[in-house]
Structure 1
Amino acid sequence: MDIGIDKIGFYTPNVYVDMEKLAEVRGVDPAKYTIGIGQEKMAVAPLHHDSVSLAVNAALSILDDEDKEKIDFVLFGSESGVDHSKSGAVWVHNLTGIQKNARCVELKHACYGATAGIKLAMGHIALNPDKKVLVLGADIAKYGLNSGGEPTQGAGAVAMVISSNPRILSLDNDSASMTKDISDFWRPLYSDFPIVDGKFSNEAYLGLLKDVWGTYKEQTDRELSDFEAMCFHLPYTKMGKKAIQAMTEGADESETKRLMNSYHDSIYYNKQVGNIYTGSLYLSLLSLLEQGPELKEGARLGLYSYGSGAVGEFFSGVLKSDYKKHLHKESHESVLDDRRELSIEEYESILGRALPKDGTDIEIDNEQVNIGKAYLEAVKGDIRKYTIK
């Protein structure tokens, strides 16, 4: 059965920080941010945006009435959940108007959550080919002011409709995955910020990539030459370059050059947004599809998903004919172009704000809400109140 991505959209908050200006204030050579890690702008989430509101905005940008009737499963991948018990998918289900007879689940494993959602969605569609599944990857990457991870922060969400007979990308049913119990990145329940061993995490990312790519080749007899392009989880965009170099080690130089050409198209959006954890791989995919030249029907794309802690998976998909007709390039570019640049003082003020942790009610100042339909308006009686404009 032909199962895959029928629709895909993304959303990011309407404010950002210029990475060169942040570097200057931090006393760092700007090239360390713009070239060293490959970032130009960093999305910042004001208090009125959390993983739920980001996901709702991404979903509303692509869903129509037919989708809302046929979707019977909402899978919310996030490591920025807003409740230890209630799934963020439940809020998304309600706020987007999806029909009531749907299952809603939140999935967590670092940046791998949305990929887990896609795999579950494929199984569900195989059993229910007339249904659709909404898969979401929504996160706010937050490391704190003046921290080592500060330049790799970001915020945003990607929403995908998985269905039979998809119009964008058919997903192959052969993949290779691996799990290792390691401590490269994690966030204890008592901590507002993650604990990161950056060097070890980079090594683990590339190590699992080599392992799953090797297993994938053995299982499928495919080689680099079978792929038109590769997309990767991007905690920062330079990571994608390192991944291609790792995969092409020992290969003909022409293969590296060919994949590097498409790599630049696949990082355009991520350079403007930063790290969005579960959505980062799919933001890269969207960037490739919308910012790159139209690829031939049947072109195979490789995708590598990595979640610290750690799970890695390599899988692939084949492009459909006229896939560009079903994308939303202009609206996505508008989301990025219409943002407002924050001064460093404004950015530091926003990052320093947090919702009360003692149950105190709060009405959130929403003066900056000028893009997006959904936002967090208040917390009253320990219940989050979301608004649709």
Structure 2
Amino acid sequence: MEYTPQNLEFAVSVFYNGEQFDRAKAHTWLTAAQRVPEAWKFVWELLQPSKGTEIQFYAATTLHTKILRCWNEVPPENYEELKEKLLQAVFTYSKGPKIVTNRLCISLAAFILQQGTVDLATILRPLSTMENTSLLLEVLTVIPEEYNSMTMGSALRAKNCAALQQACPAVLDDMLRYLQTVYIEYSDEGPPEASVQGWLRAANCAYSWLTLGDEDAAGALPDRLPLCRALLHLVRLLYSVFYATAYSSIHNIILHKNCGATPRNQIEPLAELLLALNRAEWRCPPGAAAEQAAGLAGWLRQALAVAGFPTEHATDPHKHKFIAAVVKEKSSKRRLLETVQEFSLVCRGLIGTEYARQTLASRQLVA
């Protein structure tokens, strides 16, 4: 069968949706298609935004394969054109699908390494704008990873090694600049999600370059102390955000679930959350309130301390019984589910009714 875009799209569809025998045949044919010279042409047709995600991903994977294994098919005079096409593809898929974006960034990294990482800053300059920061960080992150996994001759590896060692201090300095905002004082709601994602990308990039395999590449340890401090501060900040998120989840369980304000079929996943939180090792950040220092029990006590909360039906003995049962249970989801269900019935004023007896009996049948 001829390697046309139409035939390739059909084969991709068979691979994802066909019967097992047909899928195996499609896989063999698609793999062979990645090695033919025509692939340098059909990948760009398959990378059109109008194509399905599976087809786009196959095209991006094929492009990566061609750069890795068929680099000798590219004349040096075509390097610039290939670079521009790669950058344009990365821009086109900057908003996803994520699997396509990632594979294209890896392809760009492979292209850079096949040339011995010549003039890295110039190649990546089009990505060095505020709106393209996430793309730049992704490409920078995968360059060392691709270097460590690529098969290349000793001369090319030595050339890449020297170039990456030279670029490493500047890259790490850039990551430190990206991480400077972790020192800002944030409200109780914590930092914006966009900031957190940016910090995580910068941290991943720093890790990738710090693990290049050469002790001297990142510079002397004293030179990296500011970066280490920023990364440590990020860990502490995210740890604090976790506590705030966990507290909010617990509060919602008590306020909404046990008041009957949300569908009762959500009790089981909320019981699973309580079980996971109870199994976790609670270590509070410095200066944490006494309730946080007491872990899950302290937060539950704080949340339930208000008179008449969650409802007037829940008395102090009911609350104490609920907290004790939750904190005690670290292994059985079924028993914790019964505890949450019972407290929900208490808060709704249904405990002791026939409905409550039937509800609790049905829960006991859950394995």
Q: Which has the higher contact order (CA 8 A, sep 6+)?
A: 1
When you count helix as a share of all residues, which structure comes out higher?
2
The TM-score, its normalising length taken from structure 2, stands at 0.23
Greater Rg by CA: 2
The TM-score, its normalising length taken from structure 1, stands at 0.22
When you count strand as a share of all residues, which structure comes out higher?
1
